[in-house]
Structure 1
Amino acid sequence: MNALTTHSANSMSDDRPSELLPQFTILGQPVHLSNDYVSWLIDRLQHGIGTHVVTMNAEIVIYADRDPELSTIIHHADLVTPDGSGIIMALKLHGVLQPRYAGIDLGEDLLRWAGNQDRDYPVFFYGGKPQIVQQAAQKWQTELPNLKIAGVEHGYLDAEAQSKLLHQVQTTQPKIILVALGVPRQEIWIRDNFHLCPQAIWIGVGGSFDVWSGVKNRAPQYIRNLELEWLYRILQEPSRWRRALALPQFAVLAIAERIWGKDKPAR
């Protein structure tokens, strides 16, 4: 059966253990519970603790159920946040009340924090189409003039350009690395390259660059409050309907898990 446990992320360069966060398992995948993820992340950043963040939604859970590699990455991530409304629904079924915290909100909160610090917390933007990632970075540079941007690179690189990117990341040592390559590619890329900046926060941010660049609109707040942001995205991008099929599948499995306890053991 599901159980509320605690999880301590692996500290890579700190001399003290990080605070334990409660952890709950949904369909075999962990999610961490907190009312203040940003403060937890900032504390780790200030103490030089590298952090791989996975922003969990129903689609990722279904994908991980079929992909052992992604499931392993999620289980080894330092922080798994409840990104989607389906995750919040599943937690409620078990009596766990946890606010949703979308990956795009987490990215924005960290950028605003980094842009208002006297200390040096450079940010790296990687992924998306060339013009989109440039526009996203420029949007934040305009809004936060003091934000230090270590690099901006799109996600369509050949082997030589990818090698140069990795060298740039290692040389500049950004403290916040936002990766928009889509699931599971962004999670795999972070796992493979985490060692290059072992004191940074690495986050897969999916389609956030599209919104920040102005190419796509985010759902109005009242729609988000109704937990219908997923529907707004489908209406805006009808081609996403196949991906949305994961939502009813997840709901059925989550309800079955709650009623019959048919949860799968964590890998």
Structure 2
Amino acid sequence: MEALTTGPRDQRRCHVLGVPVDACRDVTAAAIGLHAEAGGQIVTLNAEMTMLARRNADLGAVIRAADLVVPDGAGVVWALARQGIMVQRSPGIELAWSLLKYAEAHGWRVALVGASPEVMERLSDRLAQQSPALQLVFVEHGYQDAGVWPELEARLRRLSPDLVLVALGVPLQEIWIQRMRDRLPGLWMGVGGSFDVWSGLKQRAPGWASRLQIEWLYRLLQDPKRWKRYLALPQFAWSVLRHGERQR
């Protein structure tokens, strides 16, 4: 494991089941420090993504190359604690929102990509009301015809925003970000279902569910079709118990 730095990108690279994750005192400060150093890709790691990265070589390579990997899920925090590495859980939706507010306050140019047309329309309206100073320079939904994407991508590259939030689902959003941000500045981050919540079309799990570490159950009750995805959770726990590193 690398030593913890004392600069603005204060972070220590660790591993859970061979998948990288960074321990930071303050993930928002680390992300802002990354922007100051010409930008990079932020990945938010949970148990489900960890297990997928072990099966999907492309996703695993993206995470290894990412500039900041945030411990998004309670399972990842637990697995790190078994190694004696104590970190706070850092939900990606909260980090992304903090970066949006920072972008508004500091004149960053922001791009939003993904989700459905309805979600993006409602999200744009909400942001215009809640964050009138936010410089939204690019807003495109993710349900585009294949022939449209090259022009959209070229336009996004020309704009070269300070912050790009992408909601295309795992692993597509992470793989797409890595390809897009080559030689471009700014922060690029996959945000999963955050746009759905910010638009008001879906509700985030309440605080009590987060404290009990059962947000996954709340999401499952909202969308039962996701049940197969959550089979990764017991598989993750069993793998950590069997093969995960322990504190020496």
Length-normalised TM-score, structure 1: 0.87
Candidates 149, 152, 157, aligned match of 1:165: 152
| Residue of 188, 204, 207 corresponding to 1:221 | 207
Q: Which residue in the other structure is 1:12 paired with? A: none
Cα distance in 1, alignment partners of residues 245 and 143 from structure 2: 45
Tell whether the 8 Å contact from 1:125 to 1:137 is kept in structure 2 after alignment.
no
Q: Structure 1 counterpart of 2:42, which letter? A: V
Q: List gaps (5 residues or longer) in structure 1.
A: 9-16, 262-267
Alignment size in residue pairs: 246
| Distance in 1, Cα, partners of 2:165 & 2:68 | 15
Give percent identity, aligned residues only. 39
**Aligned twin of 1:14:** none
Partners of 1:213 and 1:164 lie apart in 2 by 26
Query: For residues 207-240 of structure 1, what are the alpha-carbon distances to aligned partners after superposition, in whole Å with 9 as ceiling and x for unaligned?
Result: 1111111111001112112221111111111111
CA contact (8 A) 1:6 1:20 kept: no
Query: Given the two structures, how large is their TM-score scaled by the length of structure 2?
Result: 0.93
1:208 to 187, 190, 194: 194
Code of the aligned partner of 1:156 = Y
- What root-mean-square deviation, in Å, do the aligned CA atoms of Structure 1 and Structure 2 show? 1.9
The answer (yes or no) to whether the contact 2:9–2:31 under 8 Å persists in 1 is: no
Per the alignment, residue 73 of structure 1 pairs with 62
| CA distance 1:260–1:87, change in 2 (3 Å) | closer
Instruction: Quote the residue 1:38 is aligned against.
Output: 28
Q: 1:247 aligns with which of 186, 210, 233?
A: 233
What is aligned with 2:76? Answer: 87
Structure 1 counterpart of 2:141, which letter? H
Query: What's the CA shift for 1:259?
Result: 7.0
CA distance in 2, matches of 1:22, 1:227: 24
Q: Match of 1:5?
A: 2
The superposition leaves residues 123-149 of structure 1 with CA deviations (integer Å, 9 ceiling, x where unpaired) of 111001111122223222211110000
Which of these residues, 143, 152, 156, is aligned with residue 143 of structure 2? 156
Contact 2:82–2:245 under 8 Å retained in 1: no
Say whether the 8 Å CA contact 2:82–2:246 is kept in structure 1.
Answer: no
One-letter amino acid of the structure 2 residue matched with residue 5 of structure 1: E
Alpha-carbon separation, structure 1, partners of 2:38 and 2:8? 8
State the alpha-carbon separation in 2 of the partners of residues 216 and 142 from structure 1.
19
Give unmatched runs, 5+ long, in structure 2.
none
**Is residue 118 of structure 2 the alignment partner of residue 131 of structure 1?**
yes
**Is this contact kept in 2: 1:93–1:255, CA < 8 A?**
no
* Alpha-carbon distance between aligned partners in 1 of 2:108 and 2:97, rounded to the nearest angstrom: 14
- Asked if 1 retains the 8 angstrom alpha-carbon contact of 2:39 and 2:185, the reply is yes
Residue identity in the other structure for 1:62: M
Assess, with a 3 A threshold, how the Cα gap between structure 1 residues 99 and 205 changes in structure 2: closer, same or farther.
same
Aligned residue for 1:122? 109
Alignment partner of 2:182 out of 195, 204, 213: 195
- The structural deviation recorded for 1:260 is 8.2
